[in-house]
Structures are given as structure tokens and as C-alpha cells.
Structure 1
């Protein structure tokens, strides 16, 4: 699987296999008692849970103590204060997902200046350079994910269709890449499609923003939302208002997987592999603590998911069987008015 995008400084991607641990690395890590803190944008959602699981397993195998797993709640102020507190606590390394760019850059620079090893996830704050301010960036191929979402949505768009694109208002490398790639793919492959773009600043804004977009542009027949949690909120809110546009997003959370399996609004999901990303981040951290050379950017390719492969994909991504439970789903009749209820399951 190839990587479509470039890193934040134009780097070519290195595959996660570049940070494999040899037996002597494991032995050396176990012999040196190391402490690591994990600072994340949020602890909510399936993606975060799987990424933490991937990291904790590798750290545990190598005798590395994870002192804290911190939830920043998408708050710039909280992330800055937590980083400053960790500088005093002085772990050997911090694995962090920056919640913004310019607003948190000074705090991350202070971490680097304190001598703490810094491994970044998904995003690099403004002005920080690999090898100087941070050791490595470990991310998904977010540009590739945006292309996958567009390619999966395209067959469901009639000639001249209008698509609503809901991006993230923060200057965030991962979501920026997805949005750019989505637009580029449509421009190159479906120039007939028109896009209306709006950006939400908080999770609870996305659904109402989608309704406003439809009010402003009644011709919208599909949506792309840059990740699954706000996408699911958008789908639920629109359905309750009587709209069922085709939808594409990034990440195969359980709610989106169930909707995709049911044929209910979601038609295309570009899925990250968060467990594998967590494993790669932990291995990168351990090698850095052992003073081994690691790539500036390690990228994990995504997986294109449709209704036809959702069960298999769910098992690969979340490392557990697809839910066998049945759920009630609303479906519109051909006249677009009356609803019927049917039960579906992923597995």
C-alpha cells in the first residue's frame, strides 16, 4: 500500500516497518527503566482507545512505564498547562497529539528545550522541526484518506451534484490534508461536482452547521465530514430533520460501521489503523530513548471501506469481531416520506 501525501515539511513517508524492534532493542529497553507520558487531544472515541492500546502493549513489553495518559479535551489552554506540568515531572519522553499549531508551539518547544524526547502524532505545531524540536511524527496517510473518501463517494453522485464539505476550523495538519485531498480528487476526477465548504470549531457545531448548509444550498445531496464522530452527529441530525444525503467520512467507529452495514447514509469510509499507529509510535519512542536513528515521518496507510467489506474491515481495524448485535435502523420508502424500520448487524 502506497502513501499519497508528504509530511508537514515535505518529507517522504517511511513505513512503520522501519521502526521494528530487534531482540537486543527489547533487552536494552527492559534494562533501562524509562518513563513516558501520553498527551492526547481527547480520550473519547474508538480511534483513541485503539491507539492507546497499541502503545501500552508495546511499552509494557519493553518495561517502559506510562506515567500518565492525559485528555486535553481539544483545549489549547489545557494542553499547554499539562505540557508545562510534565516538564517539571520530567518523564524521559512524551508522546503527544497537538490540538493546534501556532497556539501550542511555544509549549512544545519548551518540552524540547527541557531535554524530554518528543514524539508527535498526526500534527506538528508551527515552527517545530524534526531532529531539532521533536524526534519523529507518526501519523496516518491523511492525504490518502481524503482521496479514498472522495473515490468511494463519487459513484453515488449524479452528474452535476453538489457536495457539502465539513472541515475542522482549527489549523490541523491531519484534517487539512484530508480536506485538500478530497477536493483535489473531485476536481481531477469529477469536475462536474460542486462543493460547498464550511468548517466547525467544536464537535457540537457540526450537525447544526450541516442543517444550515442545506438551508443555504438545497441542492446538496451528499456530505464529506473529516472524521467519524462529528460525521455521525451530522447523519443523525439530518435524518431526524428528514434528510438522508449520501455520506463519506474518515474512521470506522462502531456507530458509523453499523450505519454503513445497514446502507444508511454512509457509503464511503476511509479508515485509519489506529492500533498499528499506536504500535509504531511506541516503537519509535523506544528506539529514540535508545538513541537509535528514526525517520522524521512515519505514515500508516489507510483502508477503503464500503458496505461490501465493512465486517472484515471492522475486524482488521479494531482487532475484534464485528458486532453481532442487531440494531433498529430507519429507512425511507421510495416516495421519500414514510419510514419503515428494519434490523441489521455488521457481522
Structure 2
């Protein structure tokens, strides 16, 4: 594994030879920096800022970026003959992610294992620590090796567009998680996008949190105010489900954040200003950890948390009967494998759907360990296992 590239300032960067293929996920733990762009387009209206989507947009069904209709991963079919052709093609791919987490590690594992089955060498991976500038540098760096494909989780669509367009013009097949760079067209500039059943994720979390507080009461809503199409849609889907389906639940406080490290103070202030709150929604596991910390600091064990995606902190809280009472997950391993299938099809000149989605699943103490096994393909922390088995 090579040392961090001087061109990628905070990026955890690795060149991955074939012999080191098992060392792909998360080269280092980097700090979390705020994405800068806030000009998302969404199902709630093209050109609507993420903040407006979260606070007032109505999301009642899943619509992919640029209005694409989502289809299942079963639409990405490679025959034995296709795989044999790929294995004889001497193709390579780079994987560029935003952060190091259990979710990102599962995506990496899914992509790595499926690329290996397809005979596509994974030549490099990076973790840009939520920095669009670092991810743009990572794109330019991997282009020196002329990868056949790039699998990317774009951070800031506007800032990344020039470097990714350069990659597309150089002949790399581009597959994305969640976001599309500004101005990119399906089938011309990129092969496809993989994401969630966005409404399903929000609805599952809303139903779980509503059940936890008995269907009535005041709640807080902490949402992501930076440009991340999938997160913005999931936030709006949660709020829409609460407003449409639970008339006795009232969102009495709404606050956005662009950096997960801000969420502890956001939640602490929200609790001080709204002592009637019975639950708080946080978009995913990192900000949820900040909410849990704020609840512990305030000694508010009567306030519950609803969130999405697994982490040790969230899983332990759920297993112990702590603050986390509603948890929705997708299939990150399946997302990584689907991206690999997309570029495999594209390298063979075959059509790829514009938006491929994985399903939403409700996680409880009873199915928590199975969720790790089936969707994250990893072993949970021993503390989590012990809590589940108590």
C-alpha cells in the first residue's frame, strides 16, 4: 500500500496491487469536512436547495436523480459469456468514496468482490473525508493509470463535474452512488446511479419512531443541509411520512447541518429550547451519534432517536434498549456489487438503467445480527453481540 499522495490533501489514498486486494476499505480515519454546495435538484422540484427539500418538500415515492425511475438490482444481468469476455479484457477500476464508515466499508467489499468475479482489477481506492476538492484531486490522480472505469460517490456535483467529465472524455466508464455531477447525461457521460428506495427509508424510520413514542408527541427534525441527493430525499421522506400519517405527532424543531460534528451542539440546543421533545430524527449514523451524546449529556433517557444506517454506536444503543428505537438500513454491499455490474455491462457496450435501487429494511434487536451478516457482510462489535444475546 502506497503512502498518501501529496496531491490529495486529506484523502486517505491507496494504490491497490492485486496481492493487496483485501486491504481496500478505509485506508485511514479522516476528519469530516462540510460539503459546500447547496444547489441540489430533487423530486421535490428541480433546482430546489437541499434545505428547502428537507423542510418543505413532499416526497411520497422514490424518484432518482434527474427524475429517473428506480429499478431493482436484478435488472443488472451478466451472463457467463459476458463474464468470460470481461475476464479476458484486462480492465481496471478505481473506487472513490466520501468517508470511512461501516457503510462505506460494506460498499467497498461489495464492489471489490464483484469486480474480482468479473475479472476487473481494482487498481485504487480513496476516502475524501467529505472534501470535494480532495475527491476531485483523487479523480485526476487515478486518471494517470487510465482506469477502464471509475466507481464514485460524488460529494459536490458542481465542483466535481470538471474532473469527472475529464475522466469520461478519457474513456472511463463512470458509475455513481446517489449523486450525479452537474450537467451529466445518462448514457453519454455516465453509465448509471445506484441508491436507495428513498421513500422507503424515510417511511420505515418514521413508522418506527412513531411507534416508539406511542403515535403522539413532539419531535425534533435534524436534517442534512448540504447537497446529497439521496440524503436530502430521505430526510424529506421521513418528514412527509410523519406529517401525512401521524397527525398527533408534531415536528416542533427543525435544524440543518452540513458537518456531522455539528450535530451534538444542534441536538443539545434543540433539547434546551424544546424540553417537550420525545424523539429526534437524525439522517444517518454519524449525526445520530451526536444526538445520542447530547441526550447522555442532558440525562434525557426519555428521548428516543430515529436514524438510518448501521454503526457500532447506533447498533449498541439499539441492542441495549437505549435511545435508538427506529433504524432503517439499505444494502451497502449490494450497492457496491451493483456498481461493479453497471460498469461491467457498460464495458461490454450493453445498456444500463439510469437508477438502480436497493430496498429499505427495518432493523430491531431481533434482526440486528442478521442485518450485519446479510447487508454489511461484517461481524458486529463484540459488545453489540453481547447486548443482543442478553
Common topology (TM > 0.5): yes
Residue 193 of structure 2 aligns with which residue? Answer: 137
For residues 389 and 175 of structure 2, the distance between their equivalents in structure 1, rounded to whole angstroms, comes to 36
Residue 221 of structure 2 corresponds to which residue in structure 1?
Answer: 165
Seen in structure 2, the aligned counterparts of structure 1 residues 271 and 77 have a Cα distance that, compared at 3 Å, is same
**Counterpart for residue 377 of structure 2:** 319
Does structure 1 residue 211 correspond to structure 2 residue 268?
yes
* C-alpha spacing 1:321/1:162, structure 2 compared with 1 (3 Å): same
C-alpha separation in 2, matches of 1:250 and 1:227: 5
Long gaps (5+) in structure 2: 1-59
Residue 62 of structure 1: how far off its partner (Å): 2.0
Contact 2:154 2:177 in 1 (8 A): yes
Give 1:235 deviation, angstroms: 0.6
- CA positional deviation for 1:170: 0.9
Counterpart CA distance in 2 for 1:124 and 1:192 is 38
- The count of residues paired between Structure 1 and Structure 2 equals 329
The alignment yields a C-alpha RMSD, in angstroms, of: 2.0
Q: What secondary structure sits across from 2:208 in the alignment?
A: helix
Alignment partner of 1:273 is 2:331: yes
229-238 or 281-290: bigger deviation = 229-238
> How much does 1:323 deviate?
5.0
Whether 1:282 and 2:340 are equivalent positions in the alignment is yes
Higher strand share: 1
Q: Which residue number in structure 2 is paired with residue 240 of structure 1?
A: 297
- Aligned-residue offset at 1:164: 1.3
Correspondent of 1:306 among 358, 361, 364: 364
Q: Choose from 194, 206, 210 the match for 1:154.
A: 210
- How big is the shift at 1:20? 2.5
Q: Is the 8 A contact 1:38 1:66 kept in 2?
A: yes
Could you list the per-position Cα deviations for residues 273-300 of structure 1 after superposition, in whole angstroms to 9, with x for gaps in the alignment? 1111111111111111111111111111
Compute the displacement of 1:326 (Å): 6.5
1:74 aligns with 2:117: no
How far apart, CA to CA, are the structure 1 residues paired with 2:222 and 2:389? Answer: 26
Q: TM-score, structure 2 length as denominator? A: 0.79
Question: What is the CA–CA distance in structure 2 between the aligned matches of 1:160 and 1:60, rounded to whole Å?
Answer: 50
Does the Cα contact within 8 Å between 2:312 and 2:384 map onto a contact in 1?
A: no
Q: Equivalent residue of 2:338, what SS?
A: helix
Whole-Å separation in 2 of the counterparts to 1:305 and 1:346: 16
2:154 counterpart (81, 94, 98):
98
- Tell me how far 1:13 sits from its aligned partner: 1.1
Deviations 1:10-37 (A, max 9, x none): 2211110111321111100110001111
Tell me how far 1:325 sits from its aligned partner: 4.1
Instruction: For structure 1, list consecutive stretches of 5 or more residues without a partner in the other structure.
Output: 328-342
Q: CA deviation at 1:102?
A: 2.4
> What is the aligned partner in structure 1 of residue 168 from structure 2?
112
- Could you say which residue in structure 1 is the equivalent of 2:87? 30
**CA positional deviation for 1:157:** 2.7
Contact 2:212 2:326 in 1 (8 A): no
Other-structure match for 1:46: 102
SS at match of 1:268: strand
CA contact 1:98–1:121 (8 Å) conserved in 2? yes
